[in-house]
A and B are shown apart, each in its own frame.
Chain A
Amino acid sequence: MVMLSPNTPAADQAAADQDAHPDSAPAGGEALAGLPDFTTDRYKDAYSRINAIVLEGEQEAHDNYIALGTLISDQAEELARLARMELKHKKGFTACANNLGVTADMAFAREFFAPLHNNFQQALAEGKVTTCLLIQAILIEAFAISAYHIYIPVADPFARKITEGVVKDEYTHLNYGQEWLKANLETVREELMQANRDNLPLVRRMLEQVAADAAVLHMEQEDLMADFLSCYQETLMEIGLSSREIARMAASALTA
């Protein structure tokens, strides 16, 4: 009376998956359980680029906050304080590389950051505070926060401790940009949208560029993208943008 035939889609998968006890039998290719071997050449090679990106990112952040202080002069002191934190982070991550005996590939990292760097410099020259804040205090910080969160569970014990300390600081930076944009939303909305269109696709391309290296560190591209986007979306929500505006903005990362 009841016949099972291989006739597929959704519900079949559901039934199959419910029986399969996913965590005891992970699907091929998706399972990256456990820690990587931090001592292999392959790991160190990938780490030399990922670590360099982190160092360059922290340096960029330092320079960008100092630069922002020239545009928002009444907050130059606060921005200088944030900038100092970024240099402290850079020191911490340098120690992580030393600990593993890895030399960061800084030339790669500078090239990696060049498009975003150039956009920031151009906005700075034009006195566009909103664009500068979106690039540094929102995009880069959200990117860092989500990447650090995904890195922490798969990091070596030394780096793990340092990254956990850093990630707490980065929230305060994200918060800085968020509060400024929130307070000025009505006058900056249009520029914010444009800056999003110009820069979010760059973040996606950057992610794609490091996907293979990140995978060696047991960080998956889809997780990185998804976490970055939810962090970014939450910030936009706090700034006061509507759900639809946010979805539209986030989508330009996904469809670019």
Chain B
Amino acid sequence: MFGLIGHSTSFEEARQKARTLGYDAFADGDLDMWCAAPPQLVERITINSPTGKSIEGAYIDSVFVPEMLRRFKTAKRKVLKAMELAQRCGIDITALGGFTSIIFEDMNLLREQRVSAVELDWQRFTTGNTHTAWVICQQVETNAPRLGIDLGKARVAVVGATGDIGSAVCRWMQRRGVGELLLVARRPQPLAELRDSLGEGRVLALDEALAEADVVVWVASLPQSLEIDSARLPRPCLMIDGGYPKNLDSKAAAPGVHVLKGGIVEFWQDIGWQMMEVAEMAVPQRQMFACFAEAILLDFEQLHTNFSWGRNNITLEAMDRIGAASLRHGFKALELAPADQPAPALASA
């Protein structure tokens, strides 16, 4: 059995969703009430692979909302309690979605293995980052050529390059071969180390990189206040919004700048669930975060282990492996909508 731990993108949205799902008491509750509320197993799901295999899973809402991020203890408890619930329900492999894995990582919850009476078994959890990284790389490789961008010559900027997903994307792009890697991250020291380990790439500030990049992979959380001057971006420009939350399209939209939601996959058939509507997927019956899909894939493959865990442990071999499983079980990386692609004549011009 697989599990997905998710949450709403804002308190307001969470309340609305609670109303539509019939949780009226939650819809009426204030933020303090939500802080004290325990995680909820909201939905049980059956998923069928094109291989004929069928698996069962559960969606757990941690009853966390981003408004709680400043309450460290609350945020921490939300994540641990949701994991405790997943383990108690006997779920073999659970993906930590949205802020769940970010909180887990940043608050160093590895130290908090004991939750009340339960000793968390880390083997039962995955960040899903390997699959997310693989999907983002697929999205670059598939969509850049459609915009007339020759990846072999293109400058590819990775914003958040030193993170778990970012560094994996850098290594993948290096193996694939791109014109030049532009490395952007907040802290200089890990950036220098990444540059050394790759043996290539140019370290740049964000605005310098944006002025040069044909492809921008965003895998850092963007401050709401970040403003991008699209006039200075090269054209065409492919932007993969792989951060969380996904809010890049509102910032960078301009003719010739193509923003694609990164790390999203589409399943080969409808899934009878309600929860992806919460995540504002365009096709909620089929689309989901790639990190969630990783738990599904690991369950299909009977790989009940923390496939993605810790920081900067993602290998190219692991990406190849999860990528092959992804294709085998009917997942496809989200692509640019046809309207977003230039006419063929234009593209070849």
Chain A interfacial positions (CB closer than 8 Å to B): 1-19, 21-23, 26-27, 30, 145-146, 149, 167, 171, 220, 222-223, 225-227, 229-231, 233-234, 237, 243-244, 246-248, 250-252, 254-255
> B222 to chain A: which residues have CB within 8 Å?
11, 15
Given contacts A7-B224, A26-B72, A254-B29, 5 further A-B contacts (CB under 8 A): A8-B224, A17-B69, A223-B77, A226-B37, A230-B39
- Taking a contact as CB atoms under 8 Å apart, the answer to whether A222 and B35 are in contact is yes
How many cross-chain pairs have Cβ atoms below 8 Å apart between A and B? 152
Q: Knowing A14-B102, A149-B116, A233-B38, say if A22 contacts B107 (CB, 8 Å).
A: yes
- Taking a contact as CB atoms under 8 Å apart, the answer to whether B210 and A2 are in contact is yes
Interface hits, B13-29 → A, CB 8 Å: 22-26, 28-29
Looking at chain A's contact residues, the main secondary structure is helix
A239 smallest CB distance to B (angstroms): 14
- Taking a contact as CB atoms under 8 Å apart, the answer to whether A1 and B77 are in contact is no
- Taking a contact as CB atoms under 8 Å apart, the answer to whether B36 and A225 are in contact is yes
> A244 to chain B: which residues have CB within 8 Å?
22-23
Q: Is B285 at the interface (CB under 8 A from chain A)?
A: no
Q: Knowing A10-B66, A11-B221, A12-B225, say if A227 contacts B42 (CB, 8 Å).
A: no
- Taking a contact as CB atoms under 8 Å apart, the answer to whether B116 and A2 are in contact is no
Interface centre among B42, B84, B108, B224 (most CB of A within 10 A): B224
How distant is the Cα of A226 from the Cα of B77 in the complex, in angstroms? 9
Chain B interfacial positions (CB closer than 8 Å to A): 9-10, 22-26, 28-29, 32-33, 35-43, 66-67, 69-74, 77, 81, 84-85, 88-89, 99, 102, 106-108, 116-117, 186, 206-207, 210-211, 220-229, 232, 245, 247
In the assembled complex, 8 residue pairs joining A and B whose CB atoms fall closer than 8 Å, in A order, are A2-B226, A4-B223, A10-B67, A11-B66, A15-B222, A145-B117, A226-B77, A230-B116
Q: Knowing A171-B117, A254-B37, say if A11 contacts B245 (CB, 8 Å).
A: yes
Interface centre among A6, A11, A18, A146 (most CB of B within 10 A): A11
How distant is the Cα of A253 from the Cα of B37 in the complex, in angstroms? 9
- Taking a contact as CB atoms under 8 Å apart, the answer to whether A9 and B29 are in contact is no
A145 smallest CB distance to B (angstroms): 8
How distant is the Cα of A18 from the Cα of B185 in the complex, in angstroms? 13
- Taking a contact as CB atoms under 8 Å apart, the answer to whether A18 and B88 are in contact is no
- Taking a contact as CB atoms under 8 Å apart, the answer to whether A247 and B211 are in contact is no
- Taking a contact as CB atoms under 8 Å apart, the answer to whether B36 and A226 are in contact is yes
Residue B227 contacts which of A5, A22, A26, A255 (CB distance < 8 angstroms)?
A: A5
> B24 to chain A: which residues have CB within 8 Å?
251
Q: Closest 4 A-B residue pairs measured CB to CB?
A: A251-B25, A10-B66, A1-B207, A230-B38
- Taking a contact as CB atoms under 8 Å apart, the answer to whether B229 and A1 are in contact is yes
B135 smallest CB distance to A (angstroms): 21
- Taking a contact as CB atoms under 8 Å apart, the answer to whether B225 and A5 are in contact is yes
> B10 to chain A: which residues have CB within 8 Å?
9-10
- Taking a contact as CB atoms under 8 Å apart, the answer to whether B40 and A247 are in contact is yes
- Taking a contact as CB atoms under 8 Å apart, the answer to whether A12 and B116 are in contact is no
- Taking a contact as CB atoms under 8 Å apart, the answer to whether A14 and B29 are in contact is no
How distant is the Cα of A149 from the Cα of B84 in the complex, in angstroms? 14
Residue B116 contacts which of A3, A11, A227 (CB distance < 8 angstroms)?
A: A227
How distant is the Cα of A255 from the Cα of B29 in the complex, in angstroms? 6
- Taking a contact as CB atoms under 8 Å apart, the answer to whether B225 and A230 are in contact is no
> B85 to chain A: which residues have CB within 8 Å?
230, 234
> B117 to chain A: which residues have CB within 8 Å?
145, 149, 167, 171
- Taking a contact as CB atoms under 8 Å apart, the answer to whether A27 and B71 are in contact is yes
> A146 to chain B: which residues have CB within 8 Å?
116
Residue A243 contacts which of B40, B67, B232 (CB distance < 8 angstroms)?
A: B40
